[in-house]
Amino acid sequence: ELARTRPTPDDWCYVFNFTQPDRPQALRLPAGRGRALVADMRRLLEAVQRQLPRVFESDAYTKQRDHILNELQRRRGEMLAALEQRARAEGFALQAVPGGLLLIPLLHGQPLSDEALAALPPEIRRRIDQRRQHLEEEVRAVLKELRNLERTAHERLHDLDRQAVLSVVGDLIEDLVERYRDLPAVVRYLEAVREDLLQTWPQLRLPAEEPAMAPLGLHFWQRERVLRRYQVNLIVDNAEVQGAPVVMEIHPSYANLIGYVEREVVLGVPVTDFTLIRAGALHRANGGYLVLTAEDVLRQPGAWDGLKRTLRTNQITIEEVSDLFGLIGIVPRGLRPEPIPLEAKIILVGAPLTFYLYWLDPDFRELFKVRADFALTMDRTPENERAYAQFAAMLCQKENLLPFDCTALAALVEHGSRLAEDQRKLSTHFGALADVMREADYWARQERVATVSRVHVRRALEEKIYRSNLIEERIQELIARGIILVDVSGAVVGQVNGLAVSTLADLTFGRPTRITATIGAGREGVIDIEREVRLGGPIHSKGVLILGGFLVDRFAQDKPLTLHARLVFEQSYEEVEGDSASSAELYALLSRLADVPIRQGLAVTGSVNQRGEVQAIGGVNEKIEGFFAACKAKGLTGDQGVIIPASNVDNLMLNEEVVDAVAQGRFHIYPVRTIEEGISLLTGLPAGRRLPDGTFEPETVFWRVDRRLRELARSLRAVAREEREGEGN
Would you call 583 a catalytic residue per the annotation? no
Strand partners of residue 512: 499
Under 8 Å between Cβ of 578 and 539: yes
Q: Where are the alpha helices (DSSP H) in 205-342?
A: 218-228, 254-258, 281-284, 294-299, 303-313, 321-324
**What distance in Å separates the CA atoms of residue 385 and residue 123, rounded to the nearest whole number?**
127
**What distance in Å separates the CA atoms of residue 325 and residue 255, rounded to the nearest whole number?**
13
**What distance in Å separates the CA atoms of residue 464 and residue 326, rounded to the nearest whole number?**
50
Q: How far is CA 307 from CA 89, 101, 266, 290, in A?
A: 86, 70, 33, 11
Closest CA to 708 of 581, 592, 601, 605: 592
Residues 6+ apart with CB under 8 A from 565: 517, 518, 519, 520, 525, 526, 527, 589, 592
Greatest Cα-to-Cα distance within the chain, rounded to the nearest angstrom: 168
Q: Where are the alpha helices (DSSP H) in 337-422?
A: 352-359, 362-367, 382-399, 406-420
Q: How many CB atoms lie within 10 A of CB 490?
A: 11
- Terminal C-alpha separation, the chain: 93
Among residues 580, 582, 583, 607, the one annotated as catalytic is: 580
Under 8 Å between Cβ of 567 and 585: yes
DSSP for residue 690: B
Would you call 623 a catalytic residue per the annotation? yes
Classified as helix, coil or strand, 558 is coil
As a 3-state breakdown, the chain gives helix, strand, coil percent values, each rounded to 5, of 50, 20, 30
Under 8 Å between Cβ of 521 and 712: yes
Q: Distance of alpha carbon 96 from its chain centroid, rounded?
A: 76
Under 8 Å between Cβ of 233 and 222: no
Residue type, 432: A
Q: Distance of alpha carbon 336 from its chain centroid, rounded?
A: 27
Three-state SS for 645-662 is EHHHHHHCCCCHHHHHHH
**What distance in Å separates the CA atoms of residue 566 and residue 526, rounded to the nearest whole number?**
6
- Enclosing H/E stretch for 492: strand 491-493
Q: At what angle do helices 184-204 and 218-228 cross, to 10 degrees?
A: 160
Q: Using CB atoms within 10 Å of the CB of residue 602, give its burial: 0 to 12 exposed, 13 to 18 middle, 19+ buried.
A: buried
Among residues 453, 583, 623, 632, the one annotated as catalytic is: 623
Pairing outcome for strands 507-520 and 564-569: antiparallel
Under 8 Å between Cβ of 592 and 565: yes
Under 8 Å between Cβ of 6 and 243: yes
Active site residues: 580, 623
